Structure 1
Amino acid sequence: MASIKDPHVIDWFRGTMEEIHNKLLVQTSAKISETAVELCQSHKLFLKSAADTCSKKCEDDGTLFETIQTYKKDLEQKTVLMNEKREALSQSLCEVEQKQSQKEDITLKIEKLREEQAKRRDLIVSQHRANKDRLKNLEKAKRIFQEHLGLEIRRTHGEKLQFIFQNVNPASPDNAYTFTMGIKADGSYHIMSSDPVLQSLETLKKRLHETNNISAFLANVRKEFVAQARS
């Protein structure tokens, strides 16, 4: 057996170790190279996949953005349309309230007109009855004065009555003493004129309005005519 101190052994051992180291280095380098290639390929695939994913994500985000913009525009249009409809509805409600108010006003006016019409109807009926009573009194007074005092009553233009007295002045019994009278819309008597003129006619008219006694009025008028004829 050779001694380890033999230089040739040491050189052999060193050479053998270098050879083994070189083989291991080559093997390791090959493995590292293969691994690096695999890692590079894997990295390329990862980068391509990531790029594809990012590209798809960008496309999806673009589509989503366009969809959001479309929804936003649609929402804006719907908001404008809703505001217009709200304004139209508010205006319609205002018009309905105005028409309701006008309807209530018209209803009140109609009710008021009905009440006024009823009052006018009652007043007309009352005036008609009063006029009938006055006409009856006139007819009664006419008969009395025609029979006893020679009174004549004539209907003149404008639905007025002319009262003609005779036998007033004993010296001239055929002389006519007259006055004209009408009936107002409210049923009151309206003494218009007398011939000859009686100074006391206003006093007699006032008394007639107070008493509504046409017979007494005619008698008083005749008395005034008699007194004036004798004076």
Structure 2
Amino acid sequence: WIGYKEGMVDLPYWAVVNLLRGILSPVCRIEVRGTREVPAGPWILACNHLSHFDPPLIAGAFSLPIDFLAMRELFQPAWFGFLMRSCRVIPVGRKQADTTALKTALDRLRSGRIVGVFPEGGLRAGKTSVLEGAPLTEGVSLLASRSGCPVRPAVIVGSDQLYVARNWLRRPRVVVAIGKPLHAPLRGQDRKEWMARLAEEMRSLFGEVKRAHRLEEVVLPKTPQERWKSGR
């Protein structure tokens, strides 16, 4: 049982994470790289986003709780929103700057938490993904500069294979890896330049994962539509 030392506030989080790990572990092989050695918060986790399976797979790869940001639409219906908030998930609007979400995330960091963000702005693969050269959204740089907390780049590869039901029978590989921390932007520093550096760190980590884990072509990121069309 992971997370038993974290206190009462995280009991719902670990109950859900361990339940989902129990469901997903029989249908995929989860490989981790560096996730068990990370320090306690405050810091920010910035990861690419391939599929709806990413949050539980990422959470299950770490031995510390992560307070993820998730789009507000996922908090409906009301009972599911209650479950999400019980797991410390922070709702965020995507159409305009969400000052409430920013304040909540800053408060979590001040209290020593780890905040997880998907700075691509949604599910991305191919040319729209940071892993293939696309830019990141500005939210992560704003959160880092306001909090002064370091950002650790992370990469998940293979989770998109789970969109094809028959893949569950062959237990596809899913890799979750984390890189070295990147210091928050300094006051007056060009945030776009800082985001470009973070994006490059994520791409470099992706390259390391491909080499170290000898990933086959079928494991490399695809859109859900590409997965459904190929049946793999």
TM-score (norm 1): 0.21
**Would you tell me which structure has more helix in proportion to its own residues?**
1
Larger Rg: 1
